[in-house]
Amino acid sequence: MALAIGDEKHDESSTSTLDAIWVLYDRVLRVDPANPYWRKRDRFILSKGHGPAAFYAVLADRGFFPIEELRSFLGYDSRLGSHPDRSLVPGVEASTGSLGHGLPMAVGVALALRAKGLTEQRAVVLCGDAELNEGSNWEAIMLAPHLRLGNLTLLVIDNHSSAIPMSPWNRRLEAFGWHAELVNGRDHDELERALSLRERAVPTAVVADIPGGEW
């Protein structure tokens, strides 16, 4: 990540997501860097598209593209912009940056996986807590339990940046019919346990609390 940012301080928008994305790609998601569009992969959408340095760093470490390429971050000819573009970066499922788009798309992906009979595969989408201010998310939060999307996981990185204080998010999501877990967003074992959970008939939300409110 430091390669991408160009210094040792890291970009604040990425530090809050780094642990969760690392755990996902190291311990949870079934992906094949040599075949990014493998039919039987799990699908991950970074809905909070800003601050993608952590995402790029993890993808590069896993082998989706050369680590050296991180140095090109934000350059004119770089594939790595400050919001990820699915047409440029192997392993990026969705082009995001405009907030409130990833979760509705993940609902569609989860529905499509079920329609295709890919019952083992999952859709995981990462949203920021401030991103959940966007109304489109609440449409999708209402819809996913109605569609009984047990193959959908919403990972909320709660770095307490929402203009309207809404923590604890897990209570709010439970009220909409989700199975919700609250974990320490820096604790890899807790993240792995919660992100590996899969309910049969309801979607799962994992609220990763980031103490100190880094964003």
Where does this chain bind another protein (CB under 8 A)? Answer: 86-87, 93-95, 98, 100-101, 103-116, 123, 135-136, 139-140, 142-143, 146-147
Nearer to another protein, 67 or 111 (CB): 111
Q: How far is the CB of 215 from another protein (least distance, A)?
A: 22
Nearer to another protein, 100 or 185 (CB): 100
Phi, psi of 26 (to 5 degrees): -90, -35
Q: How far is the CB of 57 from another protein (least distance, A)?
A: 23
Please name every residue paired with 127 in a beta bridge, in sequence order, or none if there are none.
156
Residue from 61, 51, 49 nearest 24 by CA? 61
d(CA 132, CA 141): 10
DSSP code, position 79: S
Q: How far is the CB of 207 from another protein (least distance, A)?
A: 21
Q: How far is the CB of 160 from another protein (least distance, A)?
A: 26
Nearer to another protein, 10 or 114 (CB): 114
Any idea what the Cα angle at residue 86 is, between residues 207 and 76, rounded to 5°?
110
Nearer to another protein, 85 or 214 (CB): 85
Name the CA dihedral angle for 200, 209, 2, 86, rounded to a multiple of 10 degrees.
Answer: 40
Nearer to another protein, 70 or 124 (CB): 124
Q: How far is the CB of 69 from another protein (least distance, A)?
A: 22
Preceding omega of 33 cis (within 30 degrees of 0): no
Residue that the structure tokens 């971050």 belong to = 73
